[in-house]
Amino acid sequence: MAFLDFIINWVNNPASERGLVLFGQAGTGKSSIAHEIARLFDKMHRLTSSFIFLRREQSVQKSYHLFTTLARDLADRYPSFKIALGNAVKDNTALRVGTRDYDTLFKSLILEPLKDLHIVGPILVVIDALDESGDTTGRIGLHAFLANNLIKLPSNFRVVITSRPEHAIVSALIEAQSVQIKYIDDTKLAAKTRGDILTFFQQRLASSNESGHYAEALAIKAEGLFQWAAVASQLILDPPARFGYSEEKCIKHILEPRTSRHGQDLLDELYKEVLEGYFTGQEARVLFRSVVGQLITSIEPLTIRSLLHLRQHASYDKDSDAAVTGILSRLGSLLSNVNSSDKNLPIIPLHTSFRDFLTSKDKSGDFYVGVRDAHYQLADSCLNLLLDPLDGLKFNICNLETSYLANDDIEDLNTRIDRHIPPALLYACRFWGDHLKITDFSTDLFGKVETFFKEKFLFWLEALSLTKIIGLASSAFAILNMWLASSQGVSIVQQLVR
């Protein structure tokens, strides 16, 4: 593929710049290229770090994770860096608990430990969707910091960045030293895009004699959108019942001219075709909105196991695990890891445009996801799980033999946490407040919050302490105060915690 070949050659060229930025609009294939580059180099054991920004996680705090993640990945790959990093943080409490300063993080966690690191060959870092970081406005922010500081990395670093061409990001990076800029519609490379998509369809449909000869027509229909090609190929290989279970009928339906949805975006049109084909009844569509709504509004990506665990504690009508996984199994071209045998992998939309489609009533119609409704469901499930007498919080949750030892002195603490605080419960401990913040005040949720503070508050603090996230408590209190103030209520925190 043209862009892949170009980037591979760029990474391997000793004279290349430190950074390569690939700009393109939604659906044009930036993320697909970034993920494929990461996959190829990871397969060769040459990928150092890969970081994906997600819109639902937009915050300056999330942006800081770029540097801590890179430091961790470098430490995992290079023992000498790990030793140098350990020396840098052992006497620096601010770094260990998470300082909030790009310059300090970059210098202390990356540049200083790298001084004694001597590696032959490129060190590849992939940063996907910089525009989704939540800190790329104006003349300051993560984009500006990267523009000014990529040049300070050792000469064998190669940082691939993808982003939508937002003015502030383009303005900063186009002036950066040792950074090459490419656009997805670059004249020389884009001329080969249709050929790349044609190759993609030929490979995907290679096992089907009746479908293979449609590859060229499908490549033309894609209009240069890799995401359209990915979704269309999955639809063809797993045709909905309404298309007569025939790959050829499905292809002809996709290729036929559209008149009823004149002017609709090509990707949006395909998303609607997929969902209308797979989910024909109202009951299935209600379940789809609930399940996918929770996945696209979760504060951090949920796994199938955690999603099912949370939904088991919902106050609304509960659906069987089989019904939920059945819904997800049809969405392999839209959501990551939904068809993996490993149910502990994170589920995220494979493309930002799918979330945009679902959260726009005009675009998605019957498949519209109300963000506030989804947050309400997750807040409800989190609080119910925390309060559950069997699965929820309890005294001495990790069955410690004594309370006279500091957490750091408990040798098997991580094993105990894994056994007694499963991911769904930890998610509920961390994020019940974040979901509450985006819901309207209700007496039902208020009652659960009141019970939580009366019966589970100390157990919650213990769980936060054991998992080293006790600092989240203060932000949860602040969120709760704002939520209660929205109803002109009296702060329950002040009443129950003093």
Q: Which of 183, 224, 182, 180 is nearest to 200 (CA)?
A: 224
Helix (H, G, I), strand (E, B) or coil at 286: helix
Structure confidence by residue, pLDDT tens digits, 408-422: 888 888 899 999 999
Residues contacting residue 257 through CB under 8 Å, at least 6 positions apart: none
Structure confidence by residue, pLDDT tens digits, 167-191: 999 999 998 999 999 988 776 666 6
Place of tokens 């064998």: 156
Beta-bridge partners for 51: 127
Structure confidence by residue, pLDDT tens digits, 134-159: 777 767 789 999 999 999 999 999 99
Radius of gyration (C-alpha) of the chain in whole angstroms: 25
Structure confidence by residue, pLDDT tens digits, 192-243: 677 778 888 888 887 766 666 888 899 888 877 777 888 888 888 888 877 6
Confidence label for 261 from pLDDT (cuts 50, 70 and 90):
very low
**Distance of alpha carbon 459 from the chain centroid:** 30
Q: Where do the structural domains in the chain lie, given as residue ranges?
A: 2-186, 193-257, 282-369, 373-497
Q: Residue 4: exposed, middle, or buried by beta-carbon count in 10 A (0-12, 13-18, 19+)? A: middle
Residues contacting residue 102 through CB under 8 Å, at least 6 positions apart: 63, 64, 67, 142, 145
Average confidence (pLDDT) over 423-427 = 96
Comparison of pLDDT for 73 and 247, the residue scoring more: 73
Residues contacting residue 57 through CB under 8 Å, at least 6 positions apart: 134, 299, 300
- Helix then strand then coil, in percent of the chain rounded to 5, is 60, 5, 35
Q: Is the pLDDT of residue 260 over 70?
A: no
Overall fold of domain 282-369: Arc Repressor Mutant, subunit A (1.10.10)
Structure confidence by residue, pLDDT tens digits, 312-365: 999 977 789 999 999 999 898 888 888 888 888 888 887 778 888 999 999 999
Q: In 10 A of CB 318, how many CB atoms?
A: 12
Round the average pLDDT of the chain to a whole number and report it. Answer: 85
Q: Is the pLDDT of residue 246 over 80?
A: no
What's this model's pTM, rounded to 2 decimal places?
0.70
Q: Which of 254, 300, 308 is nearest to 277 (CA)?
A: 254
Q: What are the start-end ranges of the H helices in 238-337?
A: 247-255, 266-278, 282-297, 304-311, 321-329
Give pLDDT, residue 185. Answer: 74
Q: Is the pLDDT of residue 131 over 80?
A: yes
- Alpha-carbon distances, residue 332 vs 232, 282, 336 (angstroms): 12, 21, 7
% residues pLDDT > 70 (the chain): 88
Confidence label for 120 from pLDDT (cuts 50, 70 and 90):
confident
Comparison of pLDDT for 48 and 432, the residue scoring more: 432
Q: Is the pLDDT of residue 295 over 80?
A: yes
Overall fold of domain 2-186: Rossmann fold (3.40.50)
Tokens of 6: 């170009």
Q: What HEC string does 98-135 produce?
A: CCCCHHHHHHHHHHHHHCCCCCCCCEEEEEECHHHCCC
Give pLDDT, residue 262. Answer: 46
Check if the beta carbon of residue 335 is closer than 8 Å to that of residue 288: no
Q: What is the CA angle 281-285-288, rounded to 5?
A: 140
From CA 467, how far away is CA 262, in angstroms rounded?
53
Give pLDDT, residue 100. Answer: 63
From CA 312, how far away is CA 439, in angstroms rounded?
21
Average confidence (pLDDT) over 461-484 = 91
Q: What is the enclosing helix (H) or strand (E) of 149?
A: helix 142-149
Comparison of pLDDT for 163 and 92, the residue scoring more: 163
**Distance of alpha carbon 344 from the chain centroid:** 14
**CA quadruple 469, 467, 462, 92: dihedral sign:** negative
